[in-house]
Homo-oligomer: A and B are copies of this chain.
Amino acid sequence: MTGYSTYVTYDDIYRAQRTIAGRVHRTPVISSTYLSNRIGARLYLKLESYQKTGSFKVRGLLNKLESLTEEQKANGVITFSSGNTAQALAYVASVAKIPAVVAMLTGGDPGKLEATRNYGAEVVLAEPLEIRNVTERLQKERGLTYISPFDDLKVIAGAGTVGLEIMEDVPKADMVLVGIGGGGIVSGVAVAVKSQRPKAKVIGVEPEGAAAMSRSLEASKVVTLDSVNTIADGLAAPFAGEHTLPHVQKFVDEVVIVTDDEIAEALLLVLERCKVLIEPAAASTVAALLTGKVKPAPDSNIVCVISGGNISATKLKTLIN
């Protein structure tokens, strides 16, 4: 953690905001009368589903790439991902003119593979049990810099810019809900929100089938799950991060767990009522409210971070009864 403080600070996030400004979208916040009535409080959705590449991931990754040395930039970067990080890294690397390699799973979604290639990254295919080794080997052979999708203070600070925008658009927010996969965005958003409005609550939401952060909080150390099983692929990280766990311990008020059925119901309600397509990871935050697992105070201002909108029509179909 050379050169970093242990925790991301407001200043880190503010600097990240200036670093990425103009190269990622300032995404909109919308409100929904219907959903507000359902939960008995004013509900706002921060739509990172409209972000470049369809998720918030570009924010942290671009902030990270811009922190590299000129030599690191020239040599290029690598990550492994079959989800939003793949496309996001490919995109921001092309924006920052840095060569990028993404190790993706053989037999993964062809659409995501194609999108990652179209953004200009070199895609290397690997089997699930080999993908970490392949990434490490390529990193060493080619002198690439490995980029973590969430467990990195620059990545956390970049994701935290979502929180700064929320506080600009909903300055009286009383509660902000954020999904937890590895814990990158919840860490950054919690710092941003608490620094601006200490009394606002920040709630993390995990899917039942990949609740690594809840397990890690219980154990007070990073726990790796034997397996994950959830429709919320964006939250399916099997472990919390060494950086993100302490952030969640310090800045997040509560972590709640929702089921796949609850996530699917929330996703379809947002689709039909708000007319926006969000991915299961994002719908988890709305599910936490609709199920009553999180109960907002009457007339309070609640913000759900809608982390992304990347779900294929084919997968969507499986969620509709």
Contacts and interface: CB of A to CB of B under 8 A. Distances in A.
Interface in A41-100: 49-50, 54
Interface string A230-262: 000000000000000000000000000000000
Give the interface size class of chain A.
10 to 19
Copies in the complex: 2
B54 A268 contact: no
A320 B313 contact: yes
B313 A272 contact: yes
24 contacts: A49-B275, A50-B275, A54-B275, A268-B313, A271-B277, A271-B313, A271-B316, A272-B277, A272-B312, A272-B313, A275-B276, A275-B277, A275-B278, A275-B309, A276-B276, A276-B277, A277-B277, A313-B320, A314-B320, A314-B321, A316-B316, A316-B320, A317-B317, A317-B320
Nearest to A312: B272
Interface string A280-311: 00000000000000000000000000000100
Contacts of A268: 313
A320 B320 CA distance: 11
Contacts of A314: 320-321
